[in-house]
Structure 1
Amino acid sequence: MSRTALPGTQESDSRSFYAWTKLRRFFAHVKYENLVAGLSGGVVSTLMLHPLDLVKIRFAVSDGLDLRPKYNGILHCMRTIWRQEGLRGLYQGVTPNVWGAGASWGLYFFFYNAIKAYKQEANQGDLRASQHLISAAQAGALTLCITNPIWVTKTQLVLQYDAGVDQSKKQYRGMVDALVKIFRREGIPGLYRGFLPGLLGTSHGALQFMAYEELKKKYNKHRSLPLEAKLNSFEYITMAGFSKIFAVSATYPYQVVRARLQDQHNNYMGMVDVIRKTWGNEGIYGFYKGMIPNIIKVTPACCITFAVYETVSHVLM
């Protein structure tokens, strides 16, 4: 039977000192450069590729409701939005997307590199693939806890369909307006719609970072270089692209479930309800709607993000 150390005892003081020492060792590996570099990469890639993200979300939630526009493909979707709403329509929801992507990538790299360095110090050497996977999952969970409200506002902003002369259906004027109205209407739970599938979706980032780290490690080992040797931009882009395609292919259905939970036009009872209705109405195909525009968008976005991140981090450090 385990016993709890009483406050003020030597055992309790010893445990407190040990915990404080571990915390200090962890914070010794925290570097703002990783935050700045990750944020830079996320913002640049998002500004360049936001229209494809908008198309991906609109396809992901296309469940047959009459209010939704009908699109025949990626180009038809983009042309339709351009004709109806112009460039502003293609960049609907870009503000929370920039905030969300910048904060997510910045925090992800910030947490991930600190966790990885802490574990490397404890292991006195490089990490195994499974340790990279766990470190990335931990970083993803921490990041999601902070950024989920931004993703909810982004999803609802890109799902404001053009109402022609009647603009009453335009619920939100922008990111802050959306945050305030969602909070007033639904409280904290409204800002954390889709959190559970998002948490499950940290497996996406974990698989991506594991693949990226392993590719870099094996490539440098093949060339007899140090494990953390700087590569050129093309090499970073190639490894980032392969790791992203691998992660997307393995985890895409959670993004459909998450987008549908965050959609203001539907009321689901929870993640299981989304899965049951999607499977019942659309079959397995329903869980992969929007995957092609997603791959077209996220692969170059990932390549840009990682190339900018590696460049900026090496400059800052």
Structure 2
Amino acid sequence: MSRSQIKDANATPPVKGILRHVKWEHLVAGVSGGAASTLLLHPLDLVKIRFQVNEGAATVGHVDRPEYRGIIHAFRSIQKNSGFSGLYQGVKPNVLGSASSWGLYFMFYNTIKTFMQDGDTKVDLGAGKHTLAASGAGLFTLVLTNPIWVVKTRLCLQYEATSTSFKSEKYYSGMADALFKIYKYEGVRGWYKGFLPGMFGISHGAIQFVCYEEMKTKYNNFQERPIDYRLNSAEYISFAALSKILAATITYPYQVVRSRLQDQHRNYNGIGDVIQKIYRFEGMRGFFKGMMVYLFHVTPNICIVFLVWEQVISYNKQS
């Protein structure tokens, strides 16, 4: 047997090779950061979704949509009609979805990235490979979590004054009931409504992570330090906020399209139908509905998530 054949025979299989780079602390960090940020900021997410699906008509089908004149008015209206707990409508699937999404995303992303670096964190992958790692992590995460996001959207759209008038299959008493009814009346396809625009959302995560990683790398290079040098909290927060704002500004319209496809009060004939109707009746502004409240929500959200993630990594490196 030749030397090359011996080397090939002893080579680690690709699957086992990548599995040895799995680090569960990234899952824990993402779950912790995602859960904490969502519990704090859910009311903003609730209002964002209601703005996204607002087509300008007070009545959609058999449901009267509440009219909001702005963010503050939305908070006051929801609290007036449903009390403080109304601001946390749909919080359970949101916490579960956010925690599991961030946990899985960080774990998948770090595993793919470390596999590409062959375990050497000082290797600079560059924008191309960072994009590949982020895209792969986003796809795996989306496949596993899309049903949770459908449930979260629908629970957030159970309007206070009209919830009792919904048809039985459209009213959900909670997360488990929503998962069951969606499957019963719509099948597995119901769990994956909004999946295709969610695929476009993978580009959001890719842009965000590439910008975040490249900013850290360039900053450490400028400071003449190794690229895996641990930064302070203010630096992590700054890079996280800047990368998120940039990604959100570029890719936001997919979120409006996804929310409308997941809305239980409207029926569209696919993505093309949603895009056509938004543009026809609401113009380009329709694709950016709720963006301001989204930025208010997502900027502190991402700072909390990334700070927790980086601190867990730093703790692990020290221990």
Matched with 1:246 is 246
Cα deviations across residues 135-181 of structure 1 (Å, max 9, x unaligned)?
A: 101100000000000000000000000126x7343811111111011
Which of these residues, 152, 155, 158, is aligned with residue 157 of structure 1? 155
Alignment length (residue pairs) = 303
Report the secondary structure of 2:83's partner residue.
Answer: helix
TM-score scaled by structure 2? Answer: 0.91
Letter in 1 for 2:38: T
C-alpha offsets along residues 60-88 of structure 1, whole Å, 9 cap, x if unaligned? 00013411111100110011001111111
Equivalent residue in structure 2 for 1:60, among 34, 52, 59: 52
Q: Distance in 2 between matches of 1:80 and 1:19?
A: 63
Aligned positions of 1:36-185 closer than 5 A: 36-65=28-57, 66=59, 67-121=64-118, 125-163=123-161, 167-169=164-166, 171-185=171-185
Q: Do the aligned partners of residues 27 and 59 (structure 1) sit closer, same or farther apart at CA in structure 2, a change above 3 Å counting?
A: same
The question of 1:26 aligning with 2:18 is answered: yes
Aligned partner of 1:267: which letter? N
Question: Aligned equivalents of 2:74 and 2:236: distance in 1?
Answer: 32
Match of 2:295 in 1: 295
1:134 and 1:81 map into 2 onto residues whose CA distance is: 42
SS at 1:201's partner residue? helix
Show CA shifts across 1:236-258 (max 9, x none). 10000000000000000000000
Q: Which moved more, 1:105-114 or 1:304-313?
A: 304-313
State the AA in 1 paired with 2:226: P
Distance in 2 (CA, whole Å) between partners of 1:185 and 1:299 is 37
CA pair 18-72 structure 1, distance change in 2 beyond 3 A: farther
% identical aligned pairs: 54
Q: Distance in 1 between matches of 2:123 and 2:164?
A: 59
Q: TM-score, normalised by structure 1?
A: 0.91
**Residue type at the aligned position of 2:153:** T
For residue 193 of structure 1, give the secondary structure of its aligned residue in structure 2: coil
Q: Give the ranges of 4+ consecutive aligned residues of structure 1 lying more than 3 Å apart after TM superposition.
A: 16-20
Equivalent position amino acid for 2:246 in 1? F
SS of 1:72's partner is coil
Name the CA distance, whole Å, in 1 between partners of 2:88 and 2:224.
45
Unaligned regions of 5+ residues in structure 2, if any?
1-5
Native 8 Å contact 2:81 2:161 kept in 1: no
The residue that corresponds to 1:190 in the other structure is 190
Deviation at 1:109, TM superposition (A): 0.3
Paired amino acid for 1:133: T
Alpha carbons of 1:239 and 1:272: their partners in 2 closer, same or farther (altered >3 Å)?
same
Deviations 1:10-61 (A, max 9, x none): xxxx9x9799611111111111011001111111110110000001000000
